[in-house]
Amino acid sequence: MENTIYIGLSRLSALQTNMSLIANNIANVNTPGYKANKIVFSEYLDKPKGMKDQMSMVLDYGNYRVADNGAIKLTGNPLDVALEGPGYLQVQTQEGQNFYTRAGNFSLNADRELITQQGYKVLDTGGSTITIPPGSMNIMIDETGSIATDEGIVSQLGVTEFENINNLTPVGNSLYQTTQPGVPAAGTRVVQNALEGSNVQGVLEMTDMIEVSRSYQSVAKMLQAEHDRMRATIRNLTSGS
């Protein structure tokens, strides 16, 4: 007879997961290249012993990343790169591990290699690091990702596209990891002097949050009513004898 409470509980815990996702989206509203996460709920059917009908509970089944491009913001920094389209840039850690990212706020290290803000090296199409020749100026990156200075073409940014971006696992620091092989980008444009903002839409997140908060309250109300009903039943039964 606690079934009502269990169903309510499944909803409360799913809503808490949803709230965490919304909080994370809002916290990252200014993170370059961040993609909003949305939750998927699914129905979980259970048929307890001695019951004719099935009970339907809710399960936080998974989440997916919204693939929309974030707004592109001009920064005036020649080493900032935004991607227009579904591609990802490839970076490599000091240990030789490869990650993908859309946050193109790069800089140069003392060896004039193109690096991310953590010091991870940005890779070219062939998978090797990109070095800007010493003394060269006016770094230009064109739409196809080709990098040139006043001394000629230097390298080509490696842009990779994936069939299913939700197979990329986020590992923090705006980096993603995957075993899925990517293909060289066909529909991605590189924009220099710009950064892709986060694609989180504040209004949507706020309305989602209100919805979560209200559903939470209504489930709590239902639990309260169920609790009162059970207490009243027990009281009635015991006071009768």
Residues in contact with another protein by the rule CB under 8 A:
15-17, 19-24, 26-32, 34, 37, 39-40, 60-64, 75-77, 103, 105, 107-112, 117-118, 134-135, 137, 164, 166-167, 169-174, 202, 205-206, 209-210, 212-213, 216-217, 220, 223-224, 227
Return the residue matching tokens 């009502």.
Answer: 4
Residue written as tokens 């370059």?
A: 32
Residues 37 and 25: beta-carbon distance below 8 Å: yes
Q: Give the position of tokens 């705006």.
A: 174
From the CB of 111, what's the least distance to another protein, in Å?
7
206: enclosing H helix or E strand: helix 202-240
Q: Which residues contact 80 (CB under 8 A, 6 or more apart)?
A: 104, 105, 106, 192, 193, 194, 195
The distance of closest approach from Cβ of residue 237 to another protein in the complex, given in angstroms and rounded to an integer, is 20
Q: Quick one: 5 or 125, whose CB is closer to another protein?
A: 5
Please give the backbone phi and psi of residue 166, each rounded to the nearest 5 degrees, phi first. Answer: -75, -5
- Residue whose CB is less far from another protein, 24 or 125: 24
Which is closer to another protein, CB of 184 or CB of 202?
Answer: 202
Tracing tokens 């504040």 back to the chain, one arrives at: 202
Q: Which helix (H) or strand (E) holds 89?
A: strand 88-92
Least distance in Å: CB of 68 to another protein? 17
In whole angstroms, the minimum distance from the beta carbon of 172 to another protein comes to 4
Q: Which is nearer to another protein, 125 or 201 (CB)?
A: 201
The distance of closest approach from Cβ of residue 179 to another protein in the complex, given in angstroms and rounded to an integer, is: 8
Q: State which residue, 220 or 234, has the beta carbon closest to another protein.
A: 220
| DSSP state, residue 166 | G
